[in-house]
Structure 1
Amino acid sequence: MNGTVLTLGGGGFSMSDDGSSALDDHLLDLTGKATPRVCFVPTASGDDAGYARRFEAAFAGRARTSVLSLFCREPWGYTDPHVLLEQDVVYVGGGSTANLLDVWRRHGLPELLARAAAQGTVLAGISAGMNCWFEASSTDSFGPLAPLEDGLGLLPGSACPHYLGEADRREAYLGWVASGALPAGYAVDEYAAVRFVDGVAVDAVCERPGRPVFRVERDGAGATEIPLDVRSLPGT
């Protein structure tokens, strides 16, 4: 793909008591604009209204916010997804990766998001909003953790968010990469993120100290974790 994607393993306003987040600040900085246009896409949560309102509150006064509701939730109603082509940032919320992918495909979002990224829109997301950009991922969309192999494929390989923050994530992901159930990919802890440019990981950042990011690759009968250098954001 062409363009920039910021993938959050956790953190951001979604996991902040007061809505403040150095990762979200970093995301806005990536646009290079004083008041960027930011569209929140809460499909994975079924367009949960409380989640969307938390987004609006967290970005109020520093971005021109909008919400794309594919479930026609009030007060936003349905908006033509082509609005994504007018944004500086598309920020995807967490929830069910599998449901997100199915709904997006029905509404034509994969093609629109690829076009938006190529035009300069920064794509971003947390948890399911991280998983969706990759070819495959670790997900609890079906209850127990399971490998999911039909992501958008804008980024190569697989993804695992919440790497150390949720029980069994690490063990399961390493096992799937080792067995070939998932291709090699990126494991991102909560409060950390990886930035990709044109499909290549260019840097990793965190908003809390000691939050790791790994490149995970198959190694014989097992899998190996290759730590990335993680830069602490200002205020961390």
Structure 2
Amino acid sequence: MAIVPKHRLALLGGGFSTDDDGLLDEWMLGHVPAPRPKVCFVPTASGDAPAYAEQFLTAYRSRPCEPAVLKLFQRELDDDALRTFLLSQDVIYVGGGNTANLLAVWRAHGVDRLLREAFDRGTLLCGISAGANCWAEGSHTDSFGQLTHLSDGLGLLPGSVCPHYGNEPGRRPSYRAAVATGALPAGWAVEDGVGALFTEGRLTDAVTRTPGALLHRVEPDGDGGSREQALPCRALLAAARPVSSA
């Protein structure tokens, strides 16, 4: 009997671009069964910022994986090569930046369709900030300057996503108001330092590298407002390092 691959997504409140300890990167890679997974970084939301791509490569070259970067602003792959490349990846990691621009560029190049195909084949999709927003039906974003809702996403994760929850001024009340009014569906609010894994649309693991950082479920309360539920996150601990003798 053929094994049907599971749909898996990870929302990251940190990683190589913000943290020195690499705990969230190691946690994410720990969910990939391949002994040396292919990990593709997609920096579209930053306009393919060269420094961002190099930061990823520097961080991941030291790990047991095969890192690569997909650039779309200076695209080098034709449609067939692009499909072959993306579908060969074990992990697709999307960077932060502008969520609205990210989605528009992906659709122009057909990357949105390829990501759905990769998802159906069992590729782990993940990302930080805009790279977390993009997977849901809708998201909370500053893509247009002010904090607002974006009722547009790939819809691979049911509901909505809000990054930097409680870490950036205005995020919490603005997201809760959007959910209360129905501008965004109920969803997941990710504080910096948190990682959340979803399997078949269900939360299956939640971790934190930052003491006190939480994942929240935000839903309408039925009375014109919203309610939030803080969900337990297990703490990630740095691997013990040998103590050198003097």
- Shorter-normalised TM-score: what interval? over 0.9
Superposed displacement of residue 131, structure 1? 0.2
Contact map agreement 1:44 1:93 (CA 8 A) in 2: yes
Structure 2 partner of 1:217: 219
The code of the aligned residue for 1:40 comes to: F
Which residue, 18, 25, 29 being the options, matches 1:15?
18
Separation of aligned partners in 2, 1:29 and 1:81: 26
Could you tell me which residue of structure 1 aligns to residue 243 of structure 2?
A: none
| Residue equivalent to 1:81 | 82
What is the CA deviation profile of residues 67-87 of structure 1, one whole-angstrom value per residue up to 9, with x for unaligned ones? 000011xxxx52343111000
Q: Distance in 1 between matches of 2:165 and 2:187?
A: 12
Moved more, 219-228 or 78-87: 78-87
CA RMSD of aligned residues (A): 1.5
Per the alignment, residue 156 of structure 1 pairs with 158
Secondary structure of the 1:140 match is strand
Range with greater deviation from structure 2 (93-102 or 58-67) = 58-67
Residue 15 of structure 1 aligns to a residue whose secondary structure is coil
Query: 1:234: Cα distance to partner?
Result: 2.7
Partner residue, 1:70:
72
Identity of aligned residues (%): 51
Q: Secondary structure at the match of 1:194?
A: strand
Tell me what 1:3 maps to. Answer: 7
Structure 1 unaligned segments of length 5 or more: list them: none
Residue in structure 2 matched with residue 53 of structure 1 by the alignment: 54
Matches within 5 A, 1:155-174: 155-174=157-176
Deviations, residues 91-140 of structure 1 (Å, cap 9, x unaligned): 00000000000000111112211111221211000000000000000000
User: Is contact 1:71–1:78 with CA below 8 Å preserved after alignment?
Assistant: no
Q: Structure 1: how far apart are the matches of 2:160 and 2:107?
A: 19
Tell me the SS of whatever aligns to 1:171.
Answer: helix
Matched with 1:233 is 236
SS at match of 1:14: coil
Deviation for aligned residue 1:146: 0.8
What 5-or-longer segments of structure 2 have no aligned partner?
240-246
Q: Is the 8 A contact 1:94 1:129 kept in 2?
A: yes
The TM-score, its normalising length taken from structure 2, stands at: 0.89
Secondary structure at 2:28's aligned position in 1? helix
The match for 1:123 is: 125
* 2:202 pairs with 1:204: no
Could you tell me how far apart the structure 2 residues matched to 1:25 and 1:164 are? 24
Larger Rg: 2
Matched position secondary structure for 1:111: helix
Q: C-alpha separation between the residues in 2 aligned to 1:185 and 1:199?
A: 11
Amino acid at match of 2:227: T
TM-score (norm 1): 0.93
Name the stretch that deviates more: 196-205 or 92-101.
196-205
Segments ≥4 residues shifted beyond 3 Å: none
Residues 176-191 of structure 1 aligned to structure 2 (within 5 Å): 176-191=178-193
Instruction: Using the TM superposition, give the Cα deviation of residue 33 of structure 1 relative to its aligned residue in structure 2, in angstroms.
Output: 2.6
Q: Which residue of 2 aligns with 1:100?
A: 102
- CA separation in 2, counterparts of 1:84 and 1:229? 34
Residue 2 of structure 1, CA deviation: 5.0
